[in-house]
Amino acid sequence: MSDADAPAFGVQNFGVYVHWPFCLSKCPYCDFNSHVRHAAIDEARFLRAFAREIENTAARVPGRTVTSIFLGGGTPSLMQPATVGGILDAIAERWAISPDVEVTLEANPTSVEAERFRGYRAAGVNRVSLGVQALDDAALKELGRLHTAQEALAAVAVARASFDRYSFDLIYARPRQTPQAWADELKRAISEAAEHLSLYQLTIEPDTPFFALRAAGRLAIPDDDTARALYDTTQEICVRAGLPAYEVSNHARPGAECRHNLVYWHAHEYAGIGPGAHGRLDLEGRRHATAGEKRPEAWLMRVESLGHGLVADEVLTSEERADEFLLMGLRLAEGIDPARYAALAGRTLDPARIQMLAAQGFVESDAAGCLRVTAAGFPVLDAVVADLAA
């Protein structure tokens, strides 16, 4: 751990991200590292490779206490509970585990997957994040999802019965969506939510079928004014329901934030395990940015021959590290400590720029000196960050 981190800037958490790269079908908007295979997946072989990469990573960063684990994808709920249990055991064999560790598994809300929830809980998972995406069957179909709204709600009910903590994701700013229709859908969703909701504005990613459809004029997504109205509707309804945004797209009751994602946004340390997983490891005071081979079978072969599947392992410069801290931290409603930025970058943020952005109403500083983006600044967050980092 470098001098730029603890103890002056509080306790450093340590997260472990494990990527399961398979899905039953590919959604037309998705550019995540997810693959469809028609033959059965050899889970035992993947489990051995995960355990090996965990062992290898722990040898590089020993002595950490794991505060959160996130099994993401792809569709991790396609794994057998025994595979999930094996991954969690492999992590516990190599690192100490915090008594209040948060263990999240991303799940698709089909009935088949919900049947595994109790098995996941028995394996050590204590939180699920469900990809509900919409509560409207026509929209679900257009998004290429394999579940109906009713099936998703049934999976949410199983999650509620199986776990103390669960969250679900919705995508808004979908084709032809109006603020009124979204308001109704969101209120319905909130009535099913407990402590946490992730609400993502549909992004048209390059190299996806949605990108090609839009380029061909066959996908009418909301224009900027409608997208802004949809965003404002989201904030109003969630604040009124006691689920304010603690991050650009994530809403929670105070204290129920996703601790694992906070590791990223606080720029703490995390291990990335599995195909295409990213990590940030602190070795001898220097931060390494790691990335795994994305193709699942190539990743397997790399791990089997080298002990790890990394294809990138770069030391970040202090400037890169400080920019990452700024970029991630300003996504949070709580904002950042400018002193930590200065310690990382070796220079302070430009006071004239802060003053200008504050005069425009986009940022503010609190009594403790934290710098944060305001409600007016969040819709133009990218521009605010670019301005501050310049």
Ligand X SMILES: C[S@@+](CC[C@H](N)C(=O)[O-])C[C@H]1O[C@@H](n2cnc3c(N)ncnc32)[C@H](O)[C@@H]1O
> Using CB distances below 5 to 8 A depending on partner kind, what does residue 26 bind out of ligand X, ligand SF4, none?
ligand SF4
Of 57, 67, 77, 108, the residue at the interface with ligand SF4 (CB under 6 A) is 108
Could you say whether residue 25 binds ligand X (CB under 6 A)?
Answer: no
70 near ligand X, judged by CB under 6 A: no
CA atoms of 221 and 37, how far apart (whole Å): 31
Closest chain position to ligand X (CB): 131
Instruction: Please tell me whether residue 81 binds ligand SF4 under the rule CB under 6 A.
Output: no
Least distance from ligand X to the Cβ atom of residue 131, Å: 2
- Considering only residues 163 through 202, tell me which ones interact with ligand X, judged by CB under 6 A: 169, 171, 200, 202
CA distance 128 to 47: 20
Q: Are strands 96-107 and 65-73 parallel, antiparallel or unpaired?
A: parallel
Site string for ligand X, 202-221 (x = CB under 6 A): xx-x----------------
241 Cβ contact list (under 8 Å, min separation 6): 187, 190
Evaluate whether 373 touches 247 at the Cβ level (below 8 Å): no
- Total residues interacting with ligand SF4, rule: CB under 6 A: 11
- Pick 9 or 200: Cβ nearer ligand X: 200
Q: How far is the CB of 28 from ligand X (least distance, A)?
A: 9
Residue 150 binds which entry of ligand SF4, ligand X, none, CB below 5-8 Å type-dependent: none
> Site size for ligand X, by CB under 6 A?
15
Strand ranges (E), the chain? 14-20, 65-73, 96-107, 127-133, 165-172, 196-201, 245-247, 250-252, 269-273, 278-283, 286-292, 310-315, 363-365, 371-373
Q: Residue from 4, 16, 18, 23 that binds ligand SF4 (CB under 6 A)?
A: 23
**Is the bond leading into 7 cis (omega within 30 degrees of zero)?**
yes
Q: Which is nearer to ligand X, 29 or 299 (CB)?
A: 29
Nearest to 177 by CA among 248, 249, 227: 227
Q: CA-to-CA distance for 35 and 378, rounded, in angstroms?
A: 33
Q: How far apart are the first and last CA of the chain?
A: 27
If binding is defined by CB under 6 A, does position 104 make contact with ligand SF4? no
Taking the least distance from each CB to ligand X, the nearer of 12 and 77 is: 77
Task: Name beta bridge partners: 313.
Answer: 290
- Choose the stretch contacting ligand SF4; rule: CB under 6 A; options: 23-31, 61-69, 113-121, 294-302: 23-31
Q: Does 162 bind ligand X (CB under 6 A)?
A: no
DSSP 185-231: HHHHHHHH--SEEEEEEP---TTSHHHHHHHTT------HHHHHHHH
Q: Contact region for ligand X (CB under 6 A) — 24-32, 215-223, 226-234, 319-327?
A: 24-32
> Which tokens go with 237?
């309804």
Q: Does 27 bind ligand SF4 (CB under 6 A)?
A: yes
Binding site for ligand SF4 (CB under 6 A): 23, 26-27, 30, 32, 34, 73-75, 108, 131
Binding site for ligand X (CB under 6 A): 29-30, 32, 73, 75, 106, 108, 131, 133, 169, 171, 200, 202-203, 205
